[in-house]
Chain A
Amino acid sequence: MLFKLSFKNIKKSMKDYAIYFFTLIVGVAIFYVFNAIEKQGVMLKITADQRIMIQVIVKILSSVSVFVSLILGFLIIYASRFLIKRRNKEFGIYLLLGMGKRKISMILFIETLLIGMISLVVGLIIGVFFSQFMSIFIANTFEADMTKFKFIFSKNACIKTIMYFGIMYLIVIVFNIFIIGKCKLIHLIQAERKNEKVKIKNPVLCTIIFVVAVGMLGYAYYLVTAGVKYMMKNPQDRLIMAIVLGAVSTFLIFWSVSGLLLRIAMSLKKTYYKGLNSFMIRQISSKINTTVFSMTIICLMLFVTICVVSVATSVKKSEEDGVKKNCKADIEFFSSRTTYEQREEQMVYLGEENNIINLYQNAGYDLESYLKKYVEYYTYSLYMISDGEVNSACSVVSLSDYNKIAEMYKNKTYELEENEYIIIGGSEVQKKELNDRLAKGTAILVNGYELVPKYTTCRNEFIELTDGNFHPAVYIVPDNTLAGCEPMADNLIGNYKANTKEERYKIEEEIMNMQTTDSCSIETKISLYNDCVGVGIMFTFIGSYIGIIFLISGAAILALKELSESADNISRYAVLRKIGADEKMINKALFGQIGIFFAFPLLLACIHSVFGIKFGTYLTSIFGLDGLLPAIIVTAVVIGLIYGGYFILTYLCSKSIIKSRN
């Protein structure tokens, strides 16, 4: 009997709560997809490096999953509170008929169980389906072989999903029982008859609070953008302050605007008293009044989504671009002639020559046969004196060595007078300091020669293979100044004798397997690229995982709120019909009401995001952030589709609710 009641209830309310159900299914599916990545990584034919990268990603994603499950748990509890509230009358009738509270709890228990099971099963099926696309995506980004399609099912992810969601539903069940236990019959029966009390806020107070909130928000914006350099002194306190200020001021803005909106609208008499406008604005303001808190949460969620997704997407893209731009050769060897004496804290020269080609030859390999083109050069590490102070050891390369490399890279070559030097590369911080010195024309003393700068700024050329826009600063000096100095290391930069991707991979594998007597560190374009792809993909995964979950939770809360209100609104719209408003007017009012309700948090979130993304670019500037605009466009499209989709669905459902019950 109880089971039948529960089942019928679900069937009945299925239409109203399709959105909630849909969100649950999407939540389960996404949870599965991101937890199944481990299995997909295992199935792919990829290098050991890539495998390690995937393992790192999996580890991070699984801790993100805990966070995601908290968010979803919050959503489910919030939603179930709504659902119970809407059914007060039904429960009241059960109680009147003499059904015990325990039995009502039982009905709810069975319902939650059924909803949970159905959403889990459907969500998992969809998740398994979409995770197949995920493996294609991973294979593509890691450039792995994916000629044969394999169907992959991750048992671990499946069990994990069931466990996490099981716990969430369990909490909801306990929560429901608690709520039912607290109910009073009179409130249940009269739930519908409660008239809405219209709270009018003091307009002066609203204005003051609005101004204060805008001021606070402005300061928070300042902290993360223009004031960001001060943040580095005291990063935690200032960042926390910016976050707290931002959140509190968001809340205050919603609070004050909900009071002011009505006042402003009412003063525009012409618009206010046109058609159903007065009704619509009253509807909105009464709702914003009661939903200030959830609006704040939704706004902040949207804000995080926009920032995370756009910054993450652009990091991925700029990472890949960075390798293409800054890796102009296939491989770089580095063999040090020094060893670092820990006791004396200084470099000790071992005094032996480590020519790379010879090194390999001694070990029995013909390195030259693998390389199409290569350049050997020396790097020096010298103490130099400028402004009467001894600088820490700087890396120095002779002009002729630099020009050889520049020719191979097709970079700009330089010429120097006998008493000139240039500096190339340098991180942002380094550059600032060096440029100051160069601008002043500070002379340096190298190996007894005094040199003056040729340019007033650091040049943008580079020597080493790196993944990003950051290159260590290197001094380029005329060859004769280095006479008699012992190089710190022997280096070799070269390109593989290969035309296709497969050949390059093959040569790289062979070189990596060669054993030499002396240690020699190697950096290659392929491994740099893989690292970058790994970092990029990690950002993308985490960004889209959190982003989508936040987005669907926020939109679902808005939609549920709106739909449960529509049920209350049935009688209001019935009155409008009775006094002669036609369907077109009513639909317009409904559309406007829901539209503004959805747009309000999005608008504030967009303003937040302008500053949030700026801060994001600052934080991730070590990776470089090119292509932010396309990333923002992608984010806008994704949010537009999901959030807009929820909006349209909510509108259509509300329309059918106020229509069908009339």
Chain B
Amino acid sequence: MKNILKIDQIEKYYGSKSSLTKAIDNISFDVQEGEFVAIMGASGSGKTTLLNCISTIDKVTSGNIFVDGQDITRLKGNALNKFRREKLGFIFQDFNLLDTLSAYENISLALSIQNYPAKKIDEEVKKVAKELDIEDVLNKYPYQMSGGQKQRVASARAVITNPTLVLADEPTGALDSKSAKMLLEKFNFLNHSINATILMVTHDSFTASYASRVIFIKDGKVFNEIRKGADSRKIFFNKIIDVVTLLGGDVSDAI
């Protein structure tokens, strides 16, 4: 299988010499094509910083990140924007939908920024809307939708461009349990049916249990890593709980 993401000994420091904070302290891991990886950790463990570095919103202090064989830590300016819009899809905790646009326009915007032919846009939007079960909200505005619908619209926007890698930052953070479950099932569906590679950051064990692999981070370092393999989701969930318990009090209170 193809290696989509390769993180090679990255470090990220904040602050000055006198008070240095190591947000990421030498992390390395790979993500294969078609994988659904969850990154878990407590608040302040560095997981969001890690995601920001992968998504090129933030810059690493040292080390390299390869996406599809390309070293993204060396990209600058418009090349960076081009990389972001062609290779990445984003899903955020607070949806980040544009409130002035309808769901349809929010999704189509991702394509039109890439100068995708206007004629084909409609077809693509309808297709992805069907996959994510949001056909009936396409003409609604963000303020008219529920959180779950908004997040599925955001997901549609993220995957419509066929990105190499979909990055999700606490996607269920603002959702009730029912919507969260529905969204995660859609993630699984996207992962299996269109072979989307998903990297998700979360502190919720239930959310993480939908992934095929979970990487635990503590104090900026990789603490542990478990794979789902042939286990059922329930067994995998229990395994995750075990690791979280091992991690210590700071994460257990997040469950």
**Interface residue ranges, A against B (CB under 8 Å):** 195-198, 269-279, 282-283, 286, 571-572, 574-585
Complex CA gap A577/B111 in Å reads 14
6 closest A-B pairs by CB: A580-B85, A582-B81, A580-B84, A273-B118, A282-B100, A195-B143
- Compute how far the CA of A286 lies from the CA of B112 in the bound complex, rounded to whole angstroms: 20
| Majority DSSP secondary structure for residues of A touching B | helix
Contact of A270 among B82, B86, B90, B118 (CB under 8 A): B118
Alpha-carbon distance between A279 and B143 when the two chains are bound, in angstroms: 17
Q: Give B100-144 as 1s and 0s: 1 = Cβ < 8 Å from A's Cβ atoms.
A: 111001001111111100110110000000000000000001110
Q: How far is the CA of A440 from the CA of B81 in the complex (A)?
A: 83
Contact B86 A195 (CB under 8 A): no
Number of A-B contacts (CB under 8 A): 97
- Asked if A277 and B112 make an inter-chain contact with CB atoms under 8 angstroms apart, the answer reads yes
Q: Which one, A273, A282, A582, A584, contacts B112 given CB within 8 A?
A: A273
List of A residues within 8 angstroms of B55 by Cβ = 578
Interface residues of B in 50-84 (CB under 8 A from A): 55, 57, 77-78, 81-84
B248 to chain A, nearest CB (A): 33
- Of A195, A278, A585, which one neighbours B105 at CB under 8 angstroms? A278
- What is the CB-to-nearest-CB distance from A564 to chain B, in angstroms, rounded to a whole number? 16
Instruction: Verify A575–B96 contact, CB threshold 8 A.
Output: yes
CB distance from B13 to the nearest CB of A (A): 22
**In chain B, what residue has the closest Cβ to A571?**
B96
Could you tell me if A275 and B113 are in contact, using CB atoms closer than 8 angstroms? Answer: yes
**How many angstroms from the CA of A361 to the CA of B113 in the assembled complex?**
94
Contact of B86 among A282, A574, A578, A580 (CB under 8 A): A580
Shortest distance from the beta carbon of B212 to any chain A beta carbon, whole Å? 26
- Measured between C-beta atoms, what is the minimum distance from A274 to chain B in Å? 6
Q: B99 an interface residue at 8 Å Cβ cutoff?
A: yes
A584 cross-chain contacts in B, Cβ below 8 A: 78
Residues of A within 8 A of B194 (CB): none
User: Is the pair A195, B98 in contact by a Cβ cutoff of 8 Å?
Assistant: no
User: Is B105 a contact of A282 with CB atoms below 8 Å?
Assistant: yes
A582 proximity list for chain B (CB < 8 A):
78, 81-82, 85
Bound CA span A325–B60, Å = 80
- The answer on a CB contact under 8 Å between B109 and A196 is no
How far apart sit A453 and B190, CA to CA, in the bound complex (Å)? Answer: 99
| Interface CB pairs A-B, < 8 A, 17 | A195-B99, A197-B141, A273-B118, A274-B115, A275-B115, A279-B101, A571-B96, A574-B96, A576-B113, A578-B92, A579-B110, A580-B85, A580-B86, A580-B114, A581-B81, A582-B78, A585-B113
Interface: B213 (CB within 8 A): no
What residues of chain A lie closer than 8 Å to B100, measured between beta carbons? Answer: 196, 198, 279, 282-283, 286, 572
Chain A neighbourhood of B77, CB < 8 A: 583
- Given contacts A273-B108, A572-B98, A575-B96, A580 and B141 within 8 Å (CB-CB): no
Please tell me if B157 contacts chain A, counting CB pairs below 8 Å: yes
Is A279 in contact with B98, judged by CB distance below 8 angstroms? yes
Known: A278-B112, A283-B100. A580 touches B81 (CB 8 A): yes
Within 8 A of A (CB), among B192-251: none
Query: In the complex, what distance in Å separates the CA atom of A276 from the CA atom of B101?
Result: 11
Q: B78 — which chain A residues lie within 8 A by C-beta?
A: 582-584
Q: In angstroms, how far is the closest chain B Cβ from the Cβ of A160?
A: 46
Tell me if B88 counts as interface (CB < 8 A to partner A). yes
**Are B115 and A269 interface neighbours, CB within 8 A?**
no
The minimal Cβ–Cβ distance linking B33 to chain A, given in whole angstroms, is: 21
